[in-house]
Chains A and B, each alone.
Chain A
Amino acid sequence: MAKTLFDKIWDKHVVQKIEEGPSVLYIDKHFIHEVTSPQAFNGIEKRGLKVFRPQQVVATADHNVPTLNQHLPIKDELSRLQVEQLIENCKKHNIELYGLGHPFQGIVHVIGPELGITQPGMTIVCGDSHTSTHGAFGAIAFGIGTSEVEMVFASQCVLQTKPKLMRINIEGELPNSVVSKDIILYIISKITSSGATGYFVEYAGAAIRSLSMEARMTICNMSIEMGARGGMIAPDDTTFAYIKGRQFAPGEKQWEQKLNEWKQLYSDVDSVFDIEININASEIEPMITYGTNPGLGIAINGLIPVTDTIPDEGERKNIIKALQYMGLESGKPLLGMPVQHVFIGSCTNSRIEDLRLVAALVKGRQKNKNVQVMIVPGSQQVAKQVHAEGLDKIFIEAGFEIRQAGCSACLGMNEDKIPAGEYCISTSNRNFEGRQGAGARTLLASPLTAAAAAITGVVTDIRELI
């Protein structure tokens, strides 16, 4: 029988199916970080248990870490305690930790792929919704809550109900200056922030095939922003070439065998999805959000919707409330609007390719004096590469500030925050109220659009800058 990519991986990992209930799903890799793991460790300890398969767990500290002076003790006491607790828990339970000071430290969804830990055909979980990122390699990867982290600690399994399947086909060629972040912001703006709830999404089509692994990760990363359980892309030569030679990738001896397995991972021609959506890549423009959920996005040269004409009452109220929070007006353009901050980072867009893109645009240019620009590499390895390629010089000459690896201003949890009422063009994934700090106003966009605003100080159509 024809099988989808999802089914092929799912079926191989079901230990048992509970009658009229969920399945016991075996997990190959479990990533953990300091914020959503402490209560799970407490939980298994209360039951007198050890972590069942510590070799399959990888830990890092990312959400709560400062991005300046990482060699010094963390100033914020609660953050420090949380990070210390992770160190202690990992030691006690024999878990590999890439903590502060380790050359592999970084945002959990950046380090998994770059170390070659993330591989096709795996089941991967983490107490973090953007675990969907790893699906770019043709894995079933999804975010879980802390109780489920505890379940994986205790049994290397979670109880999951099989989701419905959606395929989004993106055919055609992307216009110039349109990048993968624009694709995903475009999709979410079309199907809304809840449009894929209950589904697992496979992205397919020529436009997806043409993307690099890093660009694919950006797309899968934001699957959760349309409510999807996760997103995935069938592995291909691009995937295999990316993995080969990485730290924890299969070695020469196993490579051929692995490759043969991985090459079976695609949706069979006749396989059936619950929903299919077709998108023409040539219609996508550089995107930006104006509201307080990632679905409220428009083409950079578009207009904010006129609220009076929105037929659905709930949606109208939502957008009115969002515009109030954002201090924006219905029916107006965003182009030309001044911004005070530019944040280039997060698990969506902090990989070396993102930073190369930014560097190519800003080379020889200066940032606008009214904007503060922060570049935060996703990992120590990315930071090292930035340095090796001399991108740091370009950034410094442009007046950008380069920080050390971590989640940084993606979420208002560590020291990096956007002040209340100020605007930030951000390459991260969430524009929720207060996400980047209480009262902060976030406009989500691609690294290119963010870099363009850094130079001009206003919301800018990148196509006018090159």
Chain B
Amino acid sequence: MTPLKKINSRFVPLPMENVDTDQIIPARFLKATTRDGFGKNLFRDWRYENNDDTKPKKDFVLNKSDYSGEVLIAGKNFGCGSSREHAAWALQDYGFKAVVSSFFADIFKNNALNNGVLPVKVSDDFLVKLFALGNEATISIDIDKQTITIDATGAQEIFDINVYKKTCLLNGYDDIDYLINNRQAIEAFERIP
């Protein structure tokens, strides 16, 4: 995994609650056997008319040329539903490095972190402030300091992340390396009757 330290970017607002992983990536796109290329089907059914990728829905935010950036900002309970990691792959492949919301579903949160996409949980009030920003606004996320800042106003919030996960993100470590290095302890555990 590539280390992730700071993000400074414009953002894409998706002011909807309960965005489930079936919306992030519909089931019919889960037939691949590799992790690549899911970005083009991100939010597929909200993004295109009649499943036709030559007909983008003009009012969907990913199709609006005035919005872009590495950060997705969404309403509460983002990523609920299916455990499909394809949702995290799709967000990452599309180019998002962080998702900001006031509430995340558990499995999604793990999946995102395991793919170097940072879930940033902010207060409801801060989320309202973010949604009120214009499309030129930029935000900064500092993983070491655990802060998210609206650049124009300096408004800032501190977000939670456990120390272990933070170390992983900052250094690009992943959990699998950790577990493989601990196989001896695991084998010893297996011998306990």
Contacts and interface: CB of A to CB of B under 8 A. Distances in A.
A293 B20 contact: yes
Contacts of A15: 182, 185-186, 189
Interface string A127-152: 11100000000000001111110110
Contact of A155 (B27, B163, B179): B179
Interface in B2-27: 16-18, 20, 22-23, 26-27
Contacts of B20: 293, 430, 432
Interface in B76-94: 76-77, 80-86, 88
B26 to A, nearest CB: 6
A411 B84 CA distance: 13
Most chain A CB inside 10 Å of its own CB: which residue of B88, B105, B107? B107
B36 to A, nearest CB: 10
Interface in B39-86: 45, 51, 75-77, 80-86
B contact residues, range = 35 or more
A128 B81 CA distance: 10
Contacts of B31: 35, 64, 76, 78-79, 81-82, 413
A42 B173 CA distance: 19
Contact of A154 (B17, B28, B34, B180): B180
A16 B182 contact: yes
B175 A293 contact: no
Contacts of A293: 18, 20, 80
A434 B77 contact: no
Contacts of B180: 47, 49, 154-155
B162 A161 contact: yes
Contacts of B85: 36, 39, 127, 145-147
A150 B176 contact: yes
Interface in A421-435: 430, 432-435
A193 B22 contact: no
Contacts, number: 182
A430 to B, nearest CB: 6
A189 interface: no
Contact of B83 (A52, A129, A155): A129
Interface string B114-139: 11000000000000000000000000
Residue of A47, A143, A194, A321 with most chain B CB atoms under a 10 A cut-off? A194
Interface in A16-59: 16, 18-22, 24, 26, 35-36, 38-39, 42-43, 47, 49, 52
Contacts of A19: 163-164
B107 A43 contact: no
A222 B145 CA distance: 38
Contacts of B114: 145, 147-148
Nearest to B175: A159
B35 A39 contact: yes
A338 interface: no
A82 B27 CA distance: 14
A438 interface: yes
B155 interface: no
A159 to B, nearest CB: 5
Nearest to A149: B85
Contacts of A193: 18, 77, 80
Contacts of A35: 30-31, 84
Given A411-B22, A430-B22, 4 more contacts: A127-B83, A145-B88, A150-B176, A435-B22
18 contacts: A21-B164, A22-B164, A24-B182, A35-B31, A81-B31, A127-B85, A128-B82, A145-B110, A146-B86, A147-B85, A147-B111, A148-B110, A161-B162, A197-B106, A314-B75, A413-B27, A435-B22, A438-B51
Interface of A: 15-16, 18-22, 24, 26, 35-36, 38-39, 42-43, 47, 49, 52, 63-64, 76, 78-79, 81-82, 85, 127-129, 143-148, 150-151, 154-157, 159, 161, 163, 193-194, 197-198, 224, 227, 229, 293, 314-315, 317-318, 321, 411-413, 430, 432-435, 438
